[in-house]
Structure 1
Amino acid sequence: MKKFTLCLKISFISAVAALLFAFSDPESIEQYVGYLQKSFTEHYDISQEAKQIKRYELNITNNGFCRYKRYFNNGKTEYFAFKLAKFKDMEYEGTTAVGRLYLRTKGDDVIVQTYNDRGGDVDSMATQVIIPLKNIEAEDLNFIRENLTKICGL
């Protein structure tokens, strides 16, 4: 009878633990995306391209895409997009005051579209997206890398 009671207690404790883990709040893609969007918005440096770029759009979506669009003063538009699951690595060149973030993918996974260019509209593929940043610390870059890696692993 004692063995039966012990087995019953173990089974009950396991069931309760499984129930608690089922309803725990693991970090979700929305949290990672929110952090990335906030970081890129805060640290984007339009002044690096102010002479050429009229405006830009940089979005990290909840369905796991990075979309970067630049509108040039001459009417040309460049659009870059890649699925965050294809993220391979990143590199930052510059100082904490100003620099460029290179987001690299596993292969030719970055969609590049050019509109209203003198050479015509061009669709191609690339292996990286370059984002100008300012006022960013090494810790912020580490958090960006962590969040991209976590999204890639989901």
Structure 2
Amino acid sequence: MKKFTLNLKICLWVLSCLIFMAFKVQSFIDEELVYLQKRLAELYDHTAENQEVTRYELNVTNSGFCRYKRFFSNGKVEYFSFNLVKFKALDYAGTDTTGRLFFLTKGEDVIVQTYNDKKDGDVDSMASFMVIPTKKIEPKDLSELSERLVKMNGQLQVQK
């Protein structure tokens, strides 16, 4: 009977550790998503966009999607979205004052949609990268952002 009780205690202890670890992983992912959302909002350069862009939305959801939407003055809307599980690498073209941040995916995993385009109509397609204009970005910011995205990518893959 003592052996059974000891085994039961060990099983309960292991089960409680697994439950606590599951909450820790989710907490880590939530913290990283909040950091990514905040950092992208700080780095985004709305002055680099075309004058026809009236507003934009740049969101990182708690389900692991990065979404970028641009609204033009003529009514056209461009929408880009990809799951961070599909993230491969981060690339940057520009200077430390202005540039473009490229989110590269493993394949054609970026959803590209265009609405209300009077010239080409509504278009749905796929791409292998998403680009956002940035301002005042340092090399250390790029490396930190890239490291966090890779780490978060691994955690999201383990979670699924």
Shift of 1:75: 1.1
User: Against the structure 1 CA distance between its residues 19 and 116, is the aligned structure 2 distance closer, same or farther, given a 3 Å change threshold?
Assistant: closer
Q: What SS does the aligned partner of 1:28 have?
A: helix
Matched, 1:36 2:59: no
Q: Which residue of 1 aligns with 2:128?
A: 127
Identity across matched positions, percent: 51
Q: Deviations along 1:16-63, whole A, 9 cap, x unmatched?
A: 899779747456111111111011111100001141210000001111
Looking at structure 2, the residues matched to 121 and 45 of structure 1 have their Cα atoms a distance apart, in angstroms, of 26
Unpaired stretches in structure 2, ≥5 consecutive residues: 1-11, 156-160
Q: Which residue of 1 aligns with 2:97?
A: 97
Paired residues for 1:140-151 under 5 Å: 140-151=141-152
Looking at structure 2, the residues matched to 21 and 105 of structure 1 have their Cα atoms a distance apart, in angstroms, of 31
Looking at structure 2, the residues matched to 129 and 80 of structure 1 have their Cα atoms a distance apart, in angstroms, of 7
Q: Which residue of 1 aligns with 2:76?
A: 76
Q: Which residue of 2 aligns with 1:5?
A: none
Q: Which one has the largest radius of gyration? A: 1
Q: Which residue of 1 aligns with 2:7?
A: none
Q: Which residue of 2 aligns with 1:67?
A: 67
TM-score (norm 1): 0.83
Letter of the structure 2 residue corresponding to residue 30 of structure 1: D
TM-score (norm 2): 0.80
Q: What SS does the aligned partner of 2:92 have?
A: strand
Q: Which residue of 1 aligns with 2:48?
A: 48
Looking at structure 1, the residues matched to 154 and 71 of structure 2 have their Cα atoms a distance apart, in angstroms, of 32
Q: What SS does the aligned partner of 1:96 have?
A: coil
Large movers: runs of 4+ above 4 Å: 15-27
Contact 1:80 1:110 in 2 (8 A): yes
Contact 1:64 1:151 in 2 (8 A): no
Letter of the structure 2 residue corresponding to residue 29 of structure 1: I
Letter of the structure 1 residue corresponding to residue 28 of structure 2: S
Unpaired stretches in structure 1, ≥5 consecutive residues: 1-14
Q: Which residue of 2 aligns with 1:152?
A: 153
Looking at structure 1, the residues matched to 83 and 95 of structure 2 have their Cα atoms a distance apart, in angstroms, of 28
Looking at structure 1, the residues matched to 54 and 143 of structure 2 have their Cα atoms a distance apart, in angstroms, of 30
